[in-house]
Structure 1
Amino acid sequence: MFSNKKKAPQVAVDKFSSLLSGNLALVGDLEFEEGLKVQGCIKGNVTHKPGTSSLLALGAEGRIEGNVSSYDALIDGTIVGDLYVEHLLELHSNARIVGNISYRQLSMENGASVDGKLTRLGEGESRKTLELPAPPVRAVEQSADSA
């Protein structure tokens, strides 16, 4: 009648304040708060506003090429870059991650793949901000400096 089995942690998915639909592609860095659902493609870093309880949902058709940070994340698409999740990370069956992952709690379905290092954050660790790499110097700027 009663089960001693603990229920797996889940993220409440009520509504998303922002949506990048499947017919859109974005080139550049993006900062969000609250909920962001991505069905399209982003070439750039995706970070949540520090101090917010944000939720990132990456659909099966979605793709992000860049580093990603969020408070909670539901991943069912592809990320090529490092992923930092402060609280709960759910990797669904279509998830493909090529990069390192830092998380506090992890749920991973059969079929999900990770090509990188998994690092569990300790309970006492303070929140850190995602350190973004410096943008590459353009060849035009380099040639102008040498002239």
Structure 2
Amino acid sequence: MFGNSKKKAPQVSVDKFSSLLSGNVSLAGDLQFEDGLKILGTVRGNVSHKPGAASLLALSAEGRIEGNVSSYDALIDGTIIGDLHVEHLLELHSNARVVGNIQYRQLSMENGATVDGKLTRLADGEAPKPLELPAPVREEAAEA
């Protein structure tokens, strides 16, 4: 009678991250992940989940991403300089700093979190707009 008829979406458990980028690691380049990814270090490139798969991105307070980010669920407590697209639940914790536009379906934001960009809520059933990835810089152009 009071049951929820909505199909529950697959979720990744917070205590079962399949990948970890440690605090002493700095990665230059794009990164694609499935399941759970916890970032304590720095990524200079785009971080995206495998489309159609349940994924959870956790960015710790000391973590930093300089690039566009996409995930099914995300727990952000660090810094993102780029656009953020979250298909389901986004939690911005007190140390979160996002410089870029955010798309989300559900949002939780703690005191202290800051966003310098536009927040856009996705309607039920609406797919997030694809990330616009910056064109790669050619070495000849970079040297000029």
TM-score class normalised by the smaller sequence: 0.7 to 0.9
RMSD: 1.9
8 A Cα contact 1:89 1:103, kept in partner? yes
Within 5 A, what are the aligned runs for 1:13-92?
13-92=14-93
Gaps of 5+ in 1: 1-10
TM-score in terms of structure 1 length? 0.85
8 A Cα contact 1:50 1:129, kept in partner? no
* Cα offset, 1:139, TM superposition: 2.4
The structure number with the bigger radius of gyration is 1
Within 5 A, what are the aligned runs for 1:112-127?
112-127=113-128
Superposition misfits of 4+ residues, deviation over 4 angstroms: 140-143
Distance 1:35 1:141 in 2: 35
Distance 1:12 1:135 in 2: 35
Distance 2:124 2:39 in 1: 29
| Matched letter for residue 114 of structure 2 | S
The total of aligned residue pairs comes to: 134
Gaps of 5+ in 2: 1-11
8 A Cα contact 1:87 1:104, kept in partner? yes
Relative to structure 1, the CA distance from residue 39 to residue 122 in structure 2 (aligned partners, 3 Å threshold; closer, same or farther) is: same
Relative to structure 1, the CA distance from residue 22 to residue 128 in structure 2 (aligned partners, 3 Å threshold; closer, same or farther) is: same
Identify the residue that residue 8 of structure 1 maps to in structure 2. none
Distance 2:131 2:80 in 1: 15
